[in-house]
Structures are given as C-alpha cells and as structure tokens.
Amino acid sequence: MPETPRPPDLPELPEAVAVPKSRRSLQLVWIIPIVAALVGGWLAVKTILEKGPTITITFKTAEGLEAGKTKIKFKEVEVGMVKSVTFSKDLKSVIATADLVKEAEPYIVEDTKFWVVRPRISGGTVSGLGTLFGGSYIGVDIGKSDKKRRDFVGLEEPPVIPTDVPGRQFILHAETLGSLDAGVPVFFRRLQVGQIVSYSLDKDGNGVTLKIFINAPYDQYVNPATRFWNASGVDITLDASGIKVNTEGLVSIAIGGIAFQTLAIDAAMPPAEANTEFELFRDRTEALKHKESVYTDFVAVFHESVRGLAPGAPVDFFGITIGEVTAIKTQFDPAKMEFSIPVLFRIYPERITSRYLKGAHGGRIIAPAEAKKFWQAMTDRGLRAQLRTGNFVTGQLYVALDFFPNAPKVKIDFTEQPIPVPTIPSGLQELQKTINVLAEKLTKIASDLQKVPFGEIAGDVRETMKSANKVMKRLDEEVTPQARDALIDLRKSLDSANQVLSERAPLQQDARQAMREFARAAEALRVLADYLERHPEALIRGKQEDKK
C-alpha cells in the first residue's frame, strides 16, 4: 500500500461552529431499557403472583385428557389447565399435572373432587353432551375441608350430588344391592327427592352400604324412625292374604329406586342428623310393618306337616294378626322315637291392648309374672295353636291361636324358653282323622255283615214268603166278594147324599130363600137405624111424611 497522500489543503472551507458539549452523565436513551426492565419485571412479578397451585390428579385412563388442551372447570368456568399427562411409576394409572388459577387456591382442599366430564347416560339422564364437540374437561367439586392438598385421585364417575347442594346424606344398610346404582332416584310419596350417591360392599361381605342424598327441603321428612325400602321394579307378593302388586312409578320400574316414608305415629320426631344409618327394607310391606319393641317368643310343637308355613307367616288370633312366625325347626325325641316340628313365633302383646277399659280391666299383658298367670289361664280355657290354611290356591299356612274348651288340659312349663304353647291338630288333619275313623267303622260293619248266615236266612225267608202267599190266596178267595158288595152299598148311599146336597135340591132352595129374607130384614133394620139417628124425635112423633 502506498503511503496515504496528504489531502490538498482546502483553505476556503468554513469553520464549523463549535457547540459546547453537554456533559450529561446519564444519557436519555437509557430510559428505554429501564422502562423495558420495569415493564418486564412487573409482568414477571404479576405472573408469579397470579400463578395458582399446581396439582396432580391420578386417573385410571387418560381418555379425553390432553396436555395443554384439557381444561379444569368449576361450574363450567375455567379454573385451570392440564399441563402434562404421564404414567404413574407402576403403569397402573395416569397422572395429570394441572395448573390452577390463583383464585382456586383456597378451595383445593382435602375433599375436593376431580373427574373427567365425558358424555354419559346414567340414572335416566344424559349429561356432558357439550363435551362431544368441545372435548372432555375435568370437573371440580369444591370440598369443605380446611386441609390443603395437592395430589388427588380422580373419580371415575362424576359425583352424583355436588357438595354445595343443600340437603343431607344418609346411610342405608341393605342385604343386597338389587337393581340399585349410583344416581338412582329416591322417592318420597312418589316425588323424586334425592339420589343414591354411592354404594359399597361391607367389609365382612355380609351386606351393602348405600349412601343417599336427600335434597332440601325434603330432608326434613327423614327422622330417626323413617323407613326406607327398595322400590325397584314391580313388587309382586303372593302370601296368605293373596296377590299384591306394588310399584313406585315408571322411572323406578326402568332404573330402580328407593322410597321412604315415616309412619304417622313417628311423624312428630325431630329430623334425622346427617349420616344417620337406616336399614333398607326389601319392600314396602316389610318396611312399614309396625316395629314393636315389646314381644314375647313362643314355640308351638306341631306333629303334622308344616308345608306352606314360612317364617314371617302371621300368627292369627280371632282374625287379628298379633305376631309372626320367626323360625321353623325340626325335632326328634329318641326316647319316644317321635318327630315333631317346633315352630317359633313371636307375639307382640301391644297389639292386644284394651284400649277402652281402664284400671283392673284394662292395660297390657307385658309384666312377666302376670304373663305367666295369663298364659296358664288362657291354656286352661283351651287356648291352643293350630295350623290353618290361609290361601287354598297357594296352600299358605298360618298359625292360629284359638280356644278349644274340649282340649285336654295342659300345664305350661314356664322354665322352658321360649314358652311352649300347646297345639291342636289342624282342622284338615282332624277331618282326615274323622274320615279315617268313619272308614274304619264302615269296614267293621262290612266285616260284621260278612258274619251273617245269609244261606239260612234265605231259606227262612222263602218259607215265610210261601205262607204269606197262602194267606193272600185265601184273602183273595174269601174276602174279595164281600168287600165288593160293601162297596156297592156305600156307593148307593153316597149317591143319595149327593142328591140331597145338589143345587136344585129343595133343601138347598129353601135355605137360599131364607138367607135372602134375612138379608132384606137386616137392610130394613139398617134404614131404620139410619133414620133414627137423623130424626131421633121419630120415636115419639112417628115418621114425618116427606114434604112435597
């Protein structure tokens, strides 16, 4: 490179005007990054402050869950978003991690529930149709606990009753679940007032526990004495009293249901506390049975077939059901080599209450000492248990208590528990016995008859007949002509009598005329009496001539 040539001197160039240098230590341009930093910092702080809690929800499957897409909604308002969906370590479930909005923080507590909202049909209702287009989302039901929690297990089914719905939850114990399911309605007087929230098998496997929710204001009708029963489908019962069909309505036929009712006598009780436990009865009849707390157990030992008798069969006293059969057993007495059927039954003494009598004549038979005396006295009067047929079509039996004054005397052994009640064979059995006796007698007669010497008798009879024949012949020959003559005479006399009595006979004519005269006389007498009544003076003055 050549040395840079010096430029030509340019003397005619004007001198630039010197400007005093401004000595600002901080240039204005630095305001820009400061502003940017302030805005950025404010944004960052705001984001951090607004950041809500991050939670994890464990689901069985990730169906409908999408990281960055699936929202968490409370009452259809977005409160968060699923950030990631991963497997759990044991590969048995999926874990969705979600960011929630700041406002949700206080509500993410112990009993907050999460579930995936998908279109579903259950309990006769269709829900979540919107998710068909908009995609699934996670629903939240806010809990009431104060304890915070960040890891949740998602529900497979949405909770039937959101936490904030007013009402009360109750617990029912049932023998079987039947056709019930979560979401199945609960009826009160055929009105849908609640739903089954959940059900679970008892730990010992001996029953099912159901949780039901009764919406306010209907929950006030549940008190500690309320009876719940399974109102699913059609309940057809065939018992000693005939056929009964019970149903709670079309919905319960289709999807099942629970109904409850409080007996009128219990209606005054205060409403039941939440989570009160109740028994779920099999049907209405059983549920509404009067629940007596006072009862006495008895046993009646029958020596006949009890086919048609079942536990629950009524114990009848003069047509009133005063108890029920609780158990039927068998018994063998090796000493007597005898089989018998002890039937255990229960009598509710409160049902035999003298309502209108007071004092010594009224009251109840519940005191044990009194009861002994009472039952012995009754037995002495002939109180016996008897099997009777309640329904001839089905052959259902019931136990009847009735008085048989002719029954042999029995002393009740009160040391035995339950108290034994003497029995008497059933009417049918007695009839059978009678028929048997009758048949025996007939057989005896027949055999007696066979002993009769019919051959001799026949000979005697024949001889008798012969002599009789002779007598007849003589009669025919000797008596008949005379008899004929006598008859002819009789006829003649009858004929003459007939002539005397005939209409044209002079006696008849005379008699008739006499009667007529008599009638006229009577008429004249009546005219006279009449006249005298009107003109009593005629007796003195004589009859006045009619004025012309």
Partner 1 sequence: MPNSALSAASLDLLICHSCGQLSRVAPGIHEAACARCGTHLHIRKPNSISRTWAFLIAAIIAYIPANVLPVMETGSLFGSQSDTIMSGVIYLWTSGSWPLALLIFFASITVPALKIISLMYLCLSVQFRSNWRPKDRARLYRVVEFVGRWSMLDIFVVAILVALVQFSALATIRPGLGVLAFATVVVLTMFAAQTFEPRLIWDNLDKKHA
Residue 48 interacting with partner 1 (CB under 8 A) = no
- Closest approach, Cβ 137 to partner 1, in A, equals 8
Residue 76 interacting with partner 1 (CB under 8 A) = no
Comparison of 24 and 409: residue with beta carbon closer to partner 1: 24
Residue 356 interacting with partner 1 (CB under 8 A) = no
Q: Mind giving me the DSSP string for 282-335?
A: SSHHHHHS---S--EEEEEEESS--TT--TT-EEEETTEEEEEEEEE--EEETT
Q: Which of 86, 128, 133, 269 binds partner 1 (CB under 8 A)?
A: 133
d(CA 268, CA 262): 10
Choices 13-21, 89-97, 315-323, 446-454 (CB under 8 A): range interacting with partner 1: 13-21
d(CA 500, CA 53): 142
Task: Report yes or no: 218 and 296 within 8 Å, Cβ to Cβ.
Answer: no
Residue 71 interacting with partner 1 (CB under 8 A) = yes
Q: Which of 29, 91, 335, 539 binds partner 1 (CB under 8 A)?
A: 29
Q: Amino acid letter at 177?
A: L
Q: Which of 1, 48, 458, 540 binds partner 1 (CB under 8 A)?
A: 1
Site of tokens 């919107």: 130
Residue 25 interacting with partner 1 (CB under 8 A) = no
Site of tokens 């038979």: 365
Q: Give every CB contact of residue 506 below 8 A, 6+ residues apart in sequence.
A: none
d(CA 436, CA 304): 16
Choices 31-39, 114-122, 164-172, 237-245 (CB under 8 A): range interacting with partner 1: 31-39
Nearest one of 120, 83, 111 to 99, comparing CA atoms: 83
Comparison of 83 and 388: residue with beta carbon closer to partner 1: 83
Residue 539 interacting with partner 1 (CB under 8 A) = no
My answer on whether omega of the bond before 405 falls inside 30° of 0, hence cis, is no
List residues bridging with 398 in a β-sheet.
388
Q: Which of 2, 23, 25, 32 binds partner 1 (CB under 8 A)?
A: 32
Q: Amino acid letter at 386?
A: Q
Q: Amino acid letter at 209?
A: T
Residue 494 interacting with partner 1 (CB under 8 A) = no
- Closest approach, Cβ 14 to partner 1, in A, equals 4
d(CA 330, CA 341): 5
Residue 16 interacting with partner 1 (CB under 8 A) = yes
Residue 435 interacting with partner 1 (CB under 8 A) = no
- Closest approach, Cβ 52 to partner 1, in A, equals 16
Q: Which of 23, 25, 27, 336 binds partner 1 (CB under 8 A)?
A: 27
Comparison of 14 and 536: residue with beta carbon closer to partner 1: 14
Q: Amino acid letter at 250?
A: L
Comparison of 30 and 392: residue with beta carbon closer to partner 1: 30
SS (H, E, C) 182-243: CCCEEEECCEEEEEEEEEEECCCCCCEEEEEEEECCHHHHCCCCCEEEECCCEEEEEECCEE
Please tell me whether residue 73 adopts helix, strand or coil conformation: strand
Q: Which of 43, 269, 490, 528 binds partner 1 (CB under 8 A)?
A: 43
Residue 541 interacting with partner 1 (CB under 8 A) = no
Q: How many residues bind partner 1, per CB under 8 A?
A: 30
Residue 35 interacting with partner 1 (CB under 8 A) = yes
Choices 16-24, 48-56, 501-509, 523-531 (CB under 8 A): range interacting with partner 1: 16-24
Comparison of 27 and 482: residue with beta carbon closer to partner 1: 27
Residues that bind partner 1 (CB under 8 A): 1, 4-5, 7, 10, 13-19, 21, 27, 29-30, 32-33, 35-37, 39-40, 43, 68-69, 71, 133-135
